[in-house]
Amino acid sequence: MASITASYPWTTAPLIAGAPMRLISGPSLVHAISAAGGIGFLAAGTDVSTLSENLSAFKSLLSTSPIPGAPSDVLPIGVGFILWGADLKLAVKALSELPEPPAAVWLFAPSSSEELGSWANGIRSATKNKSKIWVQASCVADAIEAIKVANPDVFVIQGADAGGHGRYASAGLISLVPELIDAVREYYGNLNGGGDTSSFPSPPKFVAAGGIADERGVNAILALGADGAALGTRFLAAEEAVIRKGYQDAVLKAEDGGNNTIRTDVYDKLRGTIGWPEGYGGRGVINLSYVDAIKGVSFEENEKLYKVAEGAGDKGWEEGNARMTTYAGTAVGLVKKVAKAGDIVRELRGQRI
Amino acid sequence: MASITASYPWTTAPLIAGAPMRLISGPSLVHAISAAGGIGFLAAGTDVSTLSENLSAFKSLLSTSPIPGAPSDVLPIGVGFILWGADLKLAVKALSELPEPPAAVWLFAPSSSEELGSWANGIRSATKNKSKIWVQASCVADAIEAIKVANPDVFVIQGADAGGHGRYASAGLISLVPELIDAVREYYGNLNGGGDTSSFPSPPKFVAAGGIADERGVNAILALGADGAALGTRFLAAEEAVIRKGYQDAVLKAEDGGNNTIRTDVYDKLRGTIGWPEGYGGRGVINLSYVDAIKGVSFEENEKLYKVAEGAGDKGWEEGNARMTTYAGTAVGLVKKVAKAGDIVRELRGQRI
């Protein structure tokens, strides 16, 4: 069975993916991650309208700084979509126009299985099967359902520790990775007449996400059976991230991630983000907005205070005043310095910088 | 720095500990775990009155089936106490009477730091420092506080995926193990004048618990920096566990652990367990009692239905009728067969059975 890096020939094992963080994972960040032998995912998120522009910006970077080993028929990056909010037709149009589509497309948070199936088919057709389909799953049930409708090339196994949006009902990677992999392999084995799964033509690969911030986490998910690691929170402290200084400083400062982050819908409501399918919440650092919501401060009052903080710029993240959202996973306490994304990737692979 | 197995000379690396599951971890189970080169923890739990009897039963087993490598001055097992409910004076009395105290004592869920300190001091004095003090911590703040009052020999790092009782505010082991270890080492380094922590006389060891069920989980927590693994859920399916067949069958049957277990106080309330300190809940398989509680069925009605299930014996765990509590961690989906505890220990270490 070929290793996952064989499908992305510019990458180095173990595979490190930069998660498509909405608004944050832009052309410079994904270029830096891929240039270091990882795979950066550009965030299309829920708004596909900026995708073509971002892809053009990436291609400019690529022409100035080519990535050795990148194939000629695909771009050496991925693109991530948040399915409930993104427009499939626009996505198909943007991708169809590209002579070289992205090497991978990461599909997250469909409203329904049907929607996931439509996206997988739509993207495969738009990219003439050149883009590998990565599907995010945070439980076994989702993974099995995804096989039926989308036949993923790669599963992104999202654990409960992940920052930003994910399922409330989820497990940490320590149990989720082995259980999900076993269940998917068993399912493929049964499809394959109950025989040895290794003879199945293209069993999916598995990339784990949620709670990984350094080489130890990467080695742990490899021990659990994953083929690679995806990280968001660690790249919030990348020099190339598109992120407010107040947000980045709050990430560097946060400690004791299990104790000081929470998965909730409080931040979505205050930010006016509506539409996430039932069962999803966003994990972020606990701040005054959350504390007040739990205390019973009315939404109107809490929103008023949030707007004041929003108007205060970076100070809206500062202690005593912190009401701006700091989406981050429980690994936030392991993130202590800003670094070049390429150095982060190399450190994650265990190289000395 | 000596490895953790050096302190428990009958054990084999990597160290596998059997968690002290209240009512379930009895003399036969802990003997079988230790005889296989692990360390079994007898559950004193909240009720110390049965401790002397259980220790006698263990010693009988030991005289019939000696454990090679066991030292002569301690018993080759541990004992676990739930501090908020257990009586320190009774514990001290029971342990003082023993010519050989247990090799380790595991302290969990104190009502306060002072209580934890009193237990650590009381046990050390009762056992003439022969019993190593294991302290459970599920966040960095708890660990640092525990150092100040109890100077643990071993930290049991409990992740959010653990079954039974634990903190709501917690992270999975994937981020918790490295962050907690780094923070504790930094704290000891500072105590030690900011110098190299390796010269500190006895820095604590770290055993990880929560979500581990097979060799992959053990290898993962070693990669994260832990010295050993503690397991509860996996040993629910040990032949030697003191467990109702209905409960054990429910464990074997449960799948998709993140999706189908929940940390809650619903089960405590129905079982009449009161007294857990604020912030603790018990993770168990989602059953009709939980579903009804969430649906808004009154406590009185839900309790009535629970009592009926209780009266039905093992059927109280069966599908369509499942109201009896199945405490288990998210790794429950990886537990698929009943086995001898010794074989479980050997499999966890990667030996072929």
The string of DSSP letters for B310-336 reads HHTGGGGGSTTT--S--B--GGGGG--
Q: B252 — contact with chain A (CB < 8 Å)?
A: no
In the predicted structure, residue A83 carries a pLDDT above the cut 90: yes
Q: B186 — contact with chain A (CB < 8 Å)?
A: no
Which H or E element spans position A200?
Answer: none
- Cis ω on the peptide bond leading into residue A101 (within 30° of 0)? no
> A175, A212, A336: best mutation site toward chain B, by most B Cβ within 10 Å?
A175
Q: Which amino acid is at B249?
A: D
∠ at Cα B17 (B218, B330), nearest 5°?
55
Rounded CA gap, B139 and B153, in Å?
17
Cβ distance of A333 and B179 shorter than 8 Å: yes
Q: Which of B159, B156, B209, B218 is nearest to B348 (CA)?
A: B218
Give me the residue spans of the domains in chain B.
Answer: 4-241+336-348, 245-334
Cβ distance of B174 and A220 shorter than 8 Å: yes
Do the beta carbons of residue A252 and residue A233 sit within 8 Å? no
Rounded CA gap, B247 and B253, in Å?
10
Contacts of B234 in chain A (CB under 8 A): none
Cβ distance of B223 and A225 shorter than 8 Å: no
Rounded CA gap, A185 and B313, in Å?
36
pLDDT score of A195: 55
Query: Is A107 in a helix, a strand, or coil?
Result: strand
Cβ distance of A171 and B172 shorter than 8 Å: yes
* The token pair that represents A246 in the structure block: 């107040």
> A139, A144, A174: best mutation site toward chain B, by most B Cβ within 10 Å?
A174
Do the beta carbons of residue A55 and residue A72 sit within 8 Å? no
In the predicted structure, residue A196 carries a pLDDT above the cut 80: no
Q: B291 — contact with chain A (CB < 8 Å)?
A: no
DSSP string, A143-172: HHHHHHHH--SEEEEE-TT-SEEEESS---
Rounded CA gap, B224 and B208, in Å?
10
∠ at Cα B191 (B190, B194), nearest 5°?
35
∠ at Cα A280 (A49, A48), nearest 5°?
5
Cβ distance of B259 and A140 shorter than 8 Å: yes
pLDDT band at A202 (very low <50, low <70, confident <90, very high): low
* The token pair that represents A350 in the structure block: 């265990």
Least confident window among A48-62, A162-176, B185-199: B185-199
In the predicted structure, residue A349 carries a pLDDT above the cut 60: yes
Q: Which of B175, B262, B179, B338 is nearest to A174 (CA)?
A: B175
- Locate the chain A residue with the closest alpha carbon to B233: A175
B174, B219, B333 member nearest A211 (Cβ): B174
* The token pair that represents B196 in the structure block: 């190299």
Give the number of beta-carbon pairs within 8 Å between A and B. Answer: 178
Q: A182 — contact with chain B (CB < 8 Å)?
A: yes
**Cα-based torsion angle of the residue sequence B311, B312, B315, B321 in order, rounded to the nearest 10 degrees:** -80
A216, A259, A330 member nearest B225 (Cβ): A216
Cβ distance of B330 and A211 shorter than 8 Å: no
Q: B182 — contact with chain A (CB < 8 Å)?
A: yes
> B142, B144, B174: best mutation site toward chain A, by most A Cβ within 10 Å?
B174
Query: Is A135 in a helix, a strand, or coil?
Result: strand
pLDDT score of A352: 83
In the predicted structure, residue A191 carries a pLDDT above the cut 90: no
Q: A211 — contact with chain B (CB < 8 Å)?
A: yes
Centroid of chain to Cα A42: 10
Task: Provide CB contacts within 8 A for B308, sequence distance 6+.
Answer: B323
Q: Is B37 left (phi over 0), alpha (psi -120 to 50) or beta?
A: left
* The token pair that represents A287 in the structure block: 């701040």
Cβ distance of B257 and A219 shorter than 8 Å: no
Rounded CA gap, B179 and A146, in Å?
34
pLDDT score of A321: 87
- Quickly tell me which residue has 């501090």 as its tokens: B83
Do the beta carbons of residue A3 and residue A11 sit within 8 Å? no
* The token pair that represents A232 in the structure block: 């968001």
Q: B173 — contact with chain A (CB < 8 Å)?
A: yes
**Cα-based torsion angle of the residue sequence A69, A71, A75, A80 in order, rounded to the nearest 10 degrees:** -80
Q: Which of residues 72-131 of B touch A (CB under 8 A)?
A: none
* The token pair that represents B347 in the structure block: 């499999």
Do the beta carbons of residue B158 and residue B138 sit within 8 Å? yes
Q: Which of B254, B281, B271 is nearest to B323 (CA)?
A: B271
B140, B173, B177 member nearest A256 (Cβ): B140
Q: How far is B216 from chain A (nearest CA, A)?
A: 5
- Locate the chain B residue with the closest alpha carbon to A167: B259
Q: How far is B175 from chain A (nearest CA, A)?
A: 5
Average pLDDT over residues A276-302: 97
Q: B294 — contact with chain A (CB < 8 Å)?
A: no
Which H or E element spans position B304?
Answer: helix B299-311
Q: Measuring CA to CA, how many Å separate A125 from each of A52, A118, A122?
A: 18, 10, 5
- Locate the chain A residue with the closest alpha carbon to B144: A256
- Cis ω on the peptide bond leading into residue A14 (within 30° of 0)? yes
Q: A284 — contact with chain B (CB < 8 Å)?
A: no
Do the beta carbons of residue A116 and residue A143 sit within 8 Å? no
Rounded CA gap, B31 and A132, in Å?
51
- Locate the chain A residue with the closest alpha carbon to B213: A175
In the predicted structure, residue A201 carries a pLDDT above the cut 60: no
Q: Please tell me the CATH code under which domain B4-241+336-348 is placed.
A: 3.20.20.70
Q: A33 — contact with chain B (CB < 8 Å)?
A: no
Q: Measuring CA to CA, how many Å separate B144 from each of A240, B141, B158?
A: 35, 5, 15
pLDDT score of B167: 96
Q: Which of B198, B228, B219, B208 is nearest to B7 (CA)?
A: B228
Task: Provide CB contacts within 8 A for A103, sequence distance 6+.
Answer: A7, A8, A39, A71, A74, A75, A76, A77, A78, A130, A131, A132
* The token pair that represents A107 in the structure block: 């599909």
- Specify the CATH superfamily of domain A4-241+335-348: Aldolase class I (3.20.20.70)
Contacts of A179 in chain B (CB under 8 A): 255-257, 331, 333-334
pLDDT score of A28: 98
* The token pair that represents B333 in the structure block: 């989906």
Do the beta carbons of residue A26 and residue A42 sit within 8 Å? yes
Contacts of A217 in chain B (CB under 8 A): 174-175, 178, 224
pLDDT score of A51: 95
Q: A266 — contact with chain B (CB < 8 Å)?
A: no
> B136, B139, B158, B175: best mutation site toward chain A, by most A Cβ within 10 Å?
B175
∠ at Cα B239 (B330, B320), nearest 5°?
55
A218-244, pLDDT tens digit by residue? Answer: 999 999 999 999 999 999 999 999 999
Query: Is A86 in a helix, a strand, or coil?
Result: coil
**Count of alpha carbons within 13 angstroms of residue B227, beta-carbon side:** 21
Cβ distance of A178 and B330 shorter than 8 Å: no
**pLDDT tens by residue, chain B, 353 residues:** 789 999 999 999 999 999 999 999 999 999 999 999 999 999 998 889 999 999 999 999 999 999 999 999 999 999 999 999 999 999 999 999 999 999 999 999 999 999 999 999 999 999 999 999 999 999 999 999 999 999 999 999 999 999 999 999 999 999 999 999 999 999 988 876 655 555 555 689 999 999 999 999 999 999 999 999 999 999 999 999 999 999 999 999 999 999 999 999 999 999 999 999 999 999 999 999 999 999 999 999 999 999 999 999 999 999 888 999 999 999 999 999 999 999 999 999 999 87
Q: B348 — contact with chain A (CB < 8 Å)?
A: no
Q: Measuring CA to CA, how many Å separate A347 from each of A189, A234, A343?
A: 36, 11, 6
Cβ distance of A257 and B175 shorter than 8 Å: yes
Do the beta carbons of residue A133 and residue A41 sit within 8 Å? no
Which H or E element spans position B156?
Answer: strand B154-158
Rounded CA gap, A256 and A260, in Å?
6
* The token pair that represents A308 in the structure block: 């004041």
Average pLDDT over residues A150-164: 98
Centroid of chain to Cα A36: 18
In the predicted structure, residue A200 carries a pLDDT above the cut 70: no
The number of helix segments (H) and strand segments (E) in chain A equals 14, 11
